[in-house]
Structures are given as C-alpha cells and as structure tokens.
Amino acid sequence: LGIEVGDFISFDPRTVVTDTGFIKSRHLDDKVSAAILLNLLRIYKKEKIELPVTTHFAFSVFEEVGHGANSNIPAQVVEYLAVDMGAMGDDQQTDEYTVSICVKDASGPYHYDFRQHLVALAK
C-alpha cells in the first residue's frame, strides 16, 4: 500500500445523519466529545455566561501515545473531568440515549464524591 510509519491516513467514515437526529459514523469517539465541549464554549461566549470557578478546557492529540491531558494539568486544578467516548462492554447498561459515567479504570477507582456529584447532575 505504500503506507509508512508516521503517514497520515484517513478512511471514509461513512457518516449518516438519521431522520431521528442520530449521527452514525466511524471514528466518532473523541471528535464528538470535542464538539460538545466546543459548543459549550460557544454558548458560554454567546450568552456571556461566567463560570463560578476557573475552568480549563484541554484538547489533546497525544492520548494514544500516553501524553493525554493528564500530562499537563495546572497545579491549582482541584477537580478534573475527562469527556471521552462511552465505555462499552458486556456488563455495561448504556444505550444511545444515556450518559456513561465511569467509576474506575485500570489505575483504580475515581474520586467517589465527584462521581456522585456527576451522577446527581445527570439525573
């Protein structure tokens, strides 16, 4: 194929917007999360919404090589929320209408109180 290490490649995502408003496509994972965050920023600016705390929005292009947003969190950050693709698996109770809130990953459980706060907000 002539593809070398470091070459940029792209496959046709076969994007379809359904009559019910769903977007079906390959390669959506972090792009959808970024679109959501960028839309929030647009709304905050348009509506002149001032957040009650200092908030950093970070977008990393190095996640797959271990240099994600965790690699440069400012020292004063108290809470950290990663907006990412939904977790998939046999034991998951998620669907296309709900939000997934992960409670742990390979490094261990996430902050319990913060997670409970997110669950309450989602409800």
For residues 98 and 69, state if they share a domain: no
For residues 41 and 68, state if they share a domain: yes
Mean of the pLDDT values across residues 67-72?
A: 69
- The winner for highest mean pLDDT among 34-38, 66-70, 104-108 is 34-38
Active site residues: 63
For residues 37 and 69, state if they share a domain: yes
Number of domains in the chain: 2
In a domain, 2, yes or no: no
For residues 18 and 71, state if they share a domain: yes
Q: Tens of pLDDT along 2-43?
A: 889 988 887 888 889 999 988 888 878 778 888 889 999 999
In a domain, 94, yes or no: yes
pTM above 0.85, yes or no: no
Alpha carbon 25 to its chain centroid, in Å, reads 16
SS3 content of the chain, % helix, strand, coil (to 5): 30, 5, 65
In a domain, 34, yes or no: yes
- Which residues are bridge partners to 24 per DSSP? 16
Is 101 within 8 Å of 115 (Cβ atoms)? yes
